[in-house]
Structure 1
Amino acid sequence: MLDRPIAEVLNHRPCPSLPGDTPVREAARMMKEHQTGAVLVVNGHDALLGICSERDIVSRVVAEARDPGRVKVQEVMTTGPESLSEDKPFSHALHLMYEGRFRHVPVVDAQGHAVGILSPRDALQCDAREFEQQMVNREEITVIL
């Protein structure tokens, strides 16, 4: 599981991204729609500019009583986030999250275009699939015996 390439873990799922001039309310709506805790902020060519997380919204908008319909994502996003290329092993993403003390890692292709975002949930989903397969294998062995 940990040696799998990041591209395989992403499995072609949509990349939640938006331009920096998007209102924070729209970013929060997108997070809800994609069931993720962050969205990537990109320019017109899908180059990664930053990441906007739930934590950014809570600490820089809600806690300061700012209007999420008026505040733009570029005002509250984390700029220059560490990112990984999609050919790296998934273990690199988990290590980066642990060392950097953050929960989301942007994934970019060879040209620097945003292609996805990883979170600890991805590790749990991999573990769940592996566990499910082990249970199926045990059931098949039980039938044979």
Structure 2
Amino acid sequence: MSVGRICIREVDVIGPDESARVAASRMHARKVGTLIVVDQSMTPVGLVTDRDLTIRVLAEGKDAHRTTVRQIMSAAPSTVQEDTSIEDALAIMRSGTFRRLPVVDEDDQLVGILSLDDILELLAEEFSEIGWLLKQEEPGSLGERWQSGVGPEA
């Protein structure tokens, strides 16, 4: 399955020259912890998180009205394209310890965001379907043995 099938299309964005205060207000209003930082052509140039605001602004005593998103964002984020497989996206997440990846089109313009939670939700749905299928098996089949605690090797 491709990233484009499960990514969230409504993405909260901010420009790099906006203030940290604007970023915090937007996160609060939208109830999100991450904003994708985009340039004028909607190409992702960074990510800013609520943790960035806490560590790089509040903890350092910076003025949130004068500190720009560019100063606190994680620049040059890893991205995936819509046709990237879920497995490949997970590998990218693992390699960089990312919980979210911007999804871009062939012109590198932002079209969505993929989060680890989106992938976990997909897996939960698939496991639920597998469980339902196992319950539908004939008596004495793998499904029944599995439910009774006897593994597939019995």
Both proteins in one fold, TM over 0.5: yes
CA distance in 1, matches of 2:112, 2:32: 11
Q: Secondary structure at the match of 2:6?
A: helix
State the shift of 1:136 in Å. Answer: 5.8
State the shift of 1:34 in Å. Answer: 4.6
Work out which of the two has the higher radius of gyration on C-alpha atoms and give 1 or 2.
2
AA in 1 matched with 2:120 = L
In the TM superposition, 1:29-40 aligns within 5 A as 29-40=25-36
2:41 aligns with: 45
- Does the 8 A contact of 1:52 with 1:78 survive in 2? yes
Q: Does 1:7 align with 2:4?
A: yes
- Does the 8 A contact of 1:106 with 1:116 survive in 2? yes
CA distance in 2, matches of 1:138, 1:67: 58
In the TM superposition, 1:65-144 aligns within 5 A as 65-134=61-130, 141=136
Indicate how the Cα distance of structure 1 residues 129 and 32 shifts in structure 2: closer, same or farther if over 3 A, else same. Answer: farther
Tell me how many residue pairs correspond in the alignment: 137
CA RMSD of aligned residues (A): 2.3
Indicate how the Cα distance of structure 1 residues 72 and 101 shifts in structure 2: closer, same or farther if over 3 A, else same. Answer: same
Q: Deviations over 1:75-116 (max 9, x none)?
A: 111111111111100111111111112222121110010112
State the shift of 1:54 in Å. Answer: 2.7
Gaps spanning 5+ residues in structure 2: where? 138-154
State the shift of 1:52 in Å. Answer: 1.1
AA in 1 matched with 2:6 = V
Gaps spanning 5+ residues in structure 1: where? none
- Does the 8 A contact of 1:9 with 1:90 survive in 2? no
AA in 1 matched with 2:100 = H
Q: Secondary structure at the match of 1:128?
A: helix
